[in-house]
Amino acid sequence: QKEVEQDPGPLSVPEGAIVSLNCTYSNSAFQYFMWYRQYSRKGPELLMYTYSSGNKEDGRFTAQVDKSSKYISLFIRDSQPSDSATYLCAMTPSGSARQLTFGSGTQLTVLP
């Protein structure tokens, strides 16, 4: 069983839709939870991060962490065609080493 599971999609939605992307994990040591966005033919780039449980909002994006359920989500409001990309969750325990464990990524297409 993988430490981090992510539905690979692909997910296709109309412009303006609310998008929900999710990951589950098994390692209770994970403390920092991140979402990376990867456009086609590009490397991933950090979109948002959250520490421990709770919500974090940044514009149209909201990241949620439920440590009791080992479940994290990324919500995109008013989705735009420019949001079309692969979204990867990533997690790490606290501490100086802190290697990232990535999910497999969800491919999202927002149709105009």
Partner 1 sequence: DADVTQTPRNRITKTGKRIMLECSQTKGHDRMYWYRQDPGLGLRLIYYSFDVKDINKGEISDGYSVSRQAQAKFSLSLESAIPNQTALYFCATSDSRDSPTNEQFFGPGTRLTVL
Interface positions with partner 1 (CB under 8 A): 4, 6, 8, 32, 34, 41-46, 49, 51, 88, 92, 94, 96, 98-100, 102-105
Which lies closer to partner 1 via its Cβ, residue 7 or residue 17?
7
Smallest distance, partner 1 to C-beta of residue 103, A: 6
For 111, the enclosing helix (H) or strand (E) is strand 106-111
Which lies closer to partner 1 via its Cβ, residue 42 or residue 77?
42
Which lies closer to partner 1 via its Cβ, residue 14 or residue 96?
96
Length of the chain: 112
Which residues in the chain belong to E strands, given as ranges? Answer: 4-6, 11-14, 19-25, 30-38, 45-51, 54-58, 61-66, 71-76, 85-93, 101-102, 106-111
